[in-house]
Amino acid sequence: MKILCIAISFLSWTSIFGNRIEVCPTCAFTTIEEAYKSCENGDTLEIKAGIYKIPNWKIQKSIVVRGEKNTHLISQSGEEIITVEKSNVTIQNISFSGVVTNYLKENAAIRVKRCKNVNILNNTIIDCFFAIYLERTKHTKVYGNTINGNKNNIDRTEAESGNGIHAWHCDSILIAQNDIMHHRDGIYLEFVNNSEMNDNRSHDNSRYGLHYMFSNDDSYRRNIIEHNGVGVAVMFSRRIIMTENTFAHNWGHAAYGLLLKEIYDAEISDNKFTENTVAIFVEGSNRINYLRNSFRKNGWAIKFSGGCESNKISNNDFLYNSIDLVVSSQLNNNTFNGNYWSEYTGYDLDNNKIGDVPHYPVKLYSYIHNQVPESVVLMRSLFVDILNFAEKVSPIFTPKDVKDDAPKMNSNL
Amino acid sequence: MLKILKYSFYEMIRSRWIFIYSGFYLIASMALLLLSNDISKVLISLTNIIIILTPLIGILFGTIYYYNSKEFIQLLMAQALSRWSIFTGMYLGLAAALCISILIGIGIPLIAYGVLGSAELSLFLLLITMACVLSIVFSLMAFLIALKFDDKVKGLSISIFVWLFFAIIYDGIFLLLLLGFKEYPLDKLTISMIVLNPIDLARILILMKLDMSAMMGYTGAVLSKFLGKNIGMIIISFSLLLWVILPLWTIRRVSMKKDF
C-alpha cells in the first residue's frame, strides 16, 4: 500500500512537474520541431523570445507550451500554426500571425481537435484567418487572449474573413476575458452546450460580436459588445442566459444590439443597451424574460416580429429611445409590467411610485414608420405628436392590449 | 442704419413682452431641470418647445412690432434716409432682441446647471442656434407680411396662418404624400419637402444629433446619405441661409416700390 502511494505520488509528480525543455537560438534546441520531438507527456516546452517561422505543428502529446513576452510564431506557408490533437495541452503567452485566407480550409492560428482539457491562455493572435478554432472539444478554457484580425475585414466579404473564436460541437467550454476585434464574428458557437462566455470584449467585427447557432444551456455575462454589424445574434437555441452585458453603438441598416431568432426559455437581464439602431430584434422567440435591462437612446428599443409569445418584460428602463416598442401583430400575450418609460405622461396620486394609468408603448408613429420608412424625417414633428395623441385617446391602428399596467414613476436602476 | 438698429433694439428691450418671453423660457427650462435632473431629457423637452414656440413668437412679435412702429417708420422716411437702411435697422433690432431673450432664457439656466462640461454640449449649442435661426426667419416673414398688408387684422391673421402652415399643416401634407406614393422611391421628394420648410430643416438638424441611431436604420440610398453624412448638414445650413436671404431680398424689393 505504502509503495503504491509513493508510486502514485511519484507518477503525479512527474506528470505535474515534467521536464522543462527550452527553445532559443542559443539553447540546446534551436527549432521547435526538434524540441517537440524530445518532449514527453507532461513536459513543458518553453519557447524563448524571438520570431519562429514554422510549418503546421501537430501537438500529439500532453504538454505545456509556454512563450515569453516576445515569442512570436509565424506560419511559414500561411497554413494553420498549431493543431492540438491530444487532451491536457496548455498554450500560453505566445503571439501568432501569418495565417492567410483560404477558401477551402478554415485555417486557424490554434485549432483544437477532438480532445479535452485544453487551455489557451493569454495569447496574442494578429491578422489570422481564423484565430482559435475548437472542434469537438470538451472542458476547454480560452482565457485572456487578444485577437485582432485584419482591419480591412470591414470592407471584405463575409467569405473572405474568418471568426475570432470559432467553436463547433463543443461542450462545457469557458471563453473569458478575451479582447476580439476585426474579424467576421468575434465569437461563433455552433452546437456548443453547457458553456460560458464571460467578460469578453468583442468590437469592430464585420458581422456579429457573438453568434450562437443551435446551442443550448449556455450563458454569457459581463461582455462588452460594441461597434459590430450586429452585437449578439442568438439563433435556434434554448435556455441561454444573457446577463450584465453592454451592447453599444451597433449602428447601420440591419444593425441590432441583440438579435433573437427562434429562441426559447431564455433570460435577458441586467443588460445595458446604449445607442444601437435596434436594441433587441426578436423573431419567433417564446417564453423569454426581459428583466431589469436599461435601453438608452436607441433608435428602437425592442422590435417584435412575428410569432413571439409568452414573453415577460418587467422592471426595465426605457430612456429616450426614438421608438420604444414595435409589435407586428394585434394579438399578443406578452406581459409588460413595472417598467419605467421616459415617455410616460401619467400621474401617481396615491404616491406609491407606480403610475395610476396604464402606459401604451406602441405609438401610431411606429406603425406609420413601418409602412413608409421615409417618414423617419417626420419624427418629433408637431403633426406627428398630434396624431400620436389622437391615437392614444382612441386606439385604432395600435394594439390595445400591449400596455404596461404598472409603469414606474422613477427609474428602476 | 446702426442708429436705427440701436433705437429699435432699445425700444424692444424696454417692451414688457420681450421680458415675458425670456421669462417664460427661463422658467420653463428651470422647471424642466428641477423636475427631471437629467440634462438629455431636458434638452429633448426643450427641442419640442423651441420647434413650436420660436416660429410662433417670432412671426407674431414681428407683425405686431411693425404695425406699432408704422408711424415711426413713416416719420423716418421723411428724413434723408434710404428705405433699405430704415427697414434693415428696424428688423435687425427686433431680431437681436428675440435672439438675446432666447440666449438668456435658455442659456443661463442650462449653463448654470453645467451643460458646458457635459456630453450634451453640442446638442445644446445646436438647439440655441436653431432657436435663433427660426426666430430670424420667422420675424423676417412677419415683416414681409406686414409690409404687404396695411390692414392690421388681416396681417396678423395671415401670420398666424403662416405659422400654422409651416408648423403643422405642411407636415400633414408631407405625410399624406409619403403615404400616398409609398410604392415609389421617395428619397428626392422627401429631401425637397424638407428644404421647403424652415421648421423641418431646423428639426432635422436637431434629429441628426438626437436620433442618429434611428436615422441610421433607414435604408434608402439618397436619403440615408443625406441624413448620415456631412453633406446633409451642409445642404440644410445652406437652405436655412436661403430662407434668410430670400425674404430679405423680397423685403428690399417690396419696400422700395411700396407707396406709404
Q: CA-to-CA distance for A292 and A297, rounded, in angstroms?
A: 16
CA angle A357, A361, A367 (to 5 degrees): 135
Domains and CATH numbers, chain A: 20-225 (2.160.20.10), 229-341 (no CATH)
Q: Is B211 on the interface with A (CB under 8 A)?
A: yes
Residue B137 has pLDDT above 80, yes or no: yes
Q: Determine what percent of chain A is predicted with pLDDT higher than 70.
A: 94
Contact A381 B203 (CB under 8 A): yes
Residue A13 has pLDDT above 80, yes or no: no
Residue A2 has pLDDT above 80, yes or no: no
Give the pLDDT of residue A83. 95
Q: Is A413 on the interface with B (CB under 8 A)?
A: no
Give the pLDDT of residue A263. 93
Residue A9 has pLDDT above 70, yes or no: no
Q: How confident is the model at residue A154 (pLDDT cuts 50, 70, 90)?
A: low
Q: Is A389 on the interface with B (CB under 8 A)?
A: no
* Window from A175-179, A275-279, A281-285, B40-44 with minimum mean pLDDT: B40-44
| pLDDT tens for each residue of A90-124 | 999 999 999 998 888 889 999 999 999 999 999 99
Segment B68-87 mean pLDDT: 88
| Type of residue found at B121 | L
What average pLDDT is seen over chain B? 89
Beta bridge partners, A174, equal: A141, A196
Give the pLDDT of residue B245. 94
Write the residue in A255, A298, A383 that is nearest to B171 by C-beta. Answer: A383
| pLDDT tens for each residue of A230-257 | 999 999 999 999 999 999 988 877 789 9
Give the pLDDT of residue A16. 54
Write the residue in A298, A377, A383 that is nearest to B190 by C-beta. Answer: A377
Contact A322 B48 (CB under 8 A): no
B1-36 CB burial, b ≥16 within 10 A, e <16: eeebbebbbebbeebeebeebbeebbebbbebbeee
3 state SS of B236:
helix
| Type of residue found at A401 | D
A:B CB pairs within 8 Å: 104
| pLDDT tens for each residue of B244-260 | 999 999 998 988 888 77
Residue A216 has pLDDT above 70, yes or no: yes
| pLDDT tens for each residue of A182-195 | 999 999 999 999 99
Site of grid cell 414681409: B144
Write the residue in A252, A371, A383 that is nearest to B172 by C-beta. Answer: A383
Q: Is B53 on the interface with A (CB under 8 A)?
A: no
Segment A36-56 mean pLDDT: 91
ipTM for the predicted complex:
0.87
Please name the residue ranges forming H helices in chain B.
2-14, 16-36, 39-68, 70-77, 83-102, 108-113, 121-148, 152-164, 170-180, 187-195, 198-210, 212-215, 221-228, 230-257
